[in-house]
Amino acid sequence: MMYNVARTLQERLSAPSRATTLYRAWNALHTSAAPSVELRGLQAFASSIKARATGSSPSSTSTSTSASTSTSTAASAAGDGEPGRTVHFRTANRPHPVHSASDTDSDTWANPFGTKVWSDEEVNAVEVTHKPVKDLSDMVAYGTIKAVRFAFDLFSGYMFGPINEKKFLRRVIFLETVAGIPGMVAGSLRHLKSLRNMERDHGWIHTLLEEAENERMHLLTFTKVKNPNILFRSAVLAGQGIFWNMYFVAYLLSPRTCHRFIGYLEEEAVRTYTTAIDALDNGLMPTWVDMPAPDIAIDYWQLGDKAMMRDVLLAVRADEANHRDVNHTLSCIKASDTNPYIHKEH
């Protein structure tokens, strides 16, 4: 029906009038609902008319408008999900930053993959939890995490003396450079498997890559507070080379154990951020009491213009708790099952 309306308008109106009328119709309809096949036809039709009227390239006009459509559709698909289904992250109803000119005029980079939104109730309700060890796979994952944490706490000096801003930043910046690896490795391996088998992945890839991107945003946020030196960056390079290859081999051998490993890793992350929040509240991190949140954090988590570093810690902790629950869940289901944290298969 919508396509027939467009045809009628084309026949009866001049080129400039057709472009204006059709674009107004498209904008009015596309803001109220996800575009249907007919609506996309109207969009493409309007793009071609506008191109002819202005003398611009039809392909470039169509590409620009199609990108806007894809963003709107993706935002709708990544929303709160269908009743009875779980989603990994809720996406804010905001324009895609890639299509915003303001991003190029500011020192604050806007992440183009969706904003993670947590309510005050959600960030304050996060608790330190632990999933009991039940079998050999769990035992291997949990034992490895405990060994890694002890070694890192020892060599980084984290276990000696009370926590402070310098000690905390040294710890989390290094760990976030590693925390972004598992999701990328697992997502790429499942991507390759999907290509080899020529079948769908049932939603896992999206969640795993989203996790990797989220961890990277944690890193970028904390580097706004402290810029690591060359020695620290060298340690990061070595750590990435070792962990990437170890996790790559481990995921090929036992994806279930790897997801349990990350679940336990995120349990430790939640514990670390909870300790930092308590330390901040108890005056052990005095320089952060009145420190405003970095602009990148305000934009990413939509914290509000008056957000402080404590708000950043709460948001990051909520992310880590979410990763914890996601990975424990993925470890409990078959690799061929549909990912319960995304309501639409990818």
Q: How confident is the model at residue 155 (pLDDT cuts 50, 70, 90)?
A: confident
Q: What is the pLDDT of residue 38?
A: 46
Q: How confident is the model at residue 159 (pLDDT cuts 50, 70, 90)?
A: confident
Tokens representing 279 are 């330390």
Q: What is the pLDDT of residue 5?
A: 47
Contact 199, 178 (CB under 8 A): no
User: In what helix (H) or strand (E) does residue 122 lie, and over which residues does it extend?
Assistant: helix 120-124
pLDDT score of 309 more than 70:
yes
Mind giving me the DSSP string for 140-194? HHHHHHHHHHHHHHHHHTTTSS---HHHHHHHHHHHHHHHTHHHHHHHHHHHHHH
Residues sharing a CB contact under 8 Å with residue 156, sequence separation 6 or more, in sequence order:
170, 171, 174
Contact 103, 109 (CB under 8 A): yes
- Higher-confidence residue of 29 and 324: namely 324
Is 109 buried (19+), middle (13-18) or exposed (0-12) by CB count in 10 A?
A: middle
Q: How confident is the model at residue 269 (pLDDT cuts 50, 70, 90)?
A: very high
- Higher-confidence residue of 19 and 190: namely 190
Mind giving me the DSSP string for 11-72? HHS-HHHHHHHHHHHHHHHHTTS---HHHHHHHHHHHHHHHHHHT--HHHHHHHHHHHHHHH
pLDDT score of 114 more than 90:
no
CA distance 221 to 116: 14
Residues facing residue 292 across a β-bridge? 308
Angle at the Cα of 140 (from 135 to 146), degrees rounded to 5? 120
Q: What is the pLDDT of residue 190?
A: 96
Q: What is the pLDDT of residue 54?
A: 54
Q: How confident is the model at residue 51 (pLDDT cuts 50, 70, 90)?
A: low
pLDDT score of 217 more than 80:
yes
Maximum distance among all Cα pairs of the chain, rounded to whole angstroms: 80
Q: What is the pLDDT of residue 79?
A: 37
Residues facing residue 116 across a β-bridge? 91
Q: What is the pLDDT of residue 88?
A: 53
Q: What percent of the chain has pLDDT over 90?
A: 55
Residue-averaged pLDDT of the chain: 77
CA distance 34 to 45: 18
Q: What is the pLDDT of residue 100?
A: 43
Contact 269, 168 (CB under 8 A): no
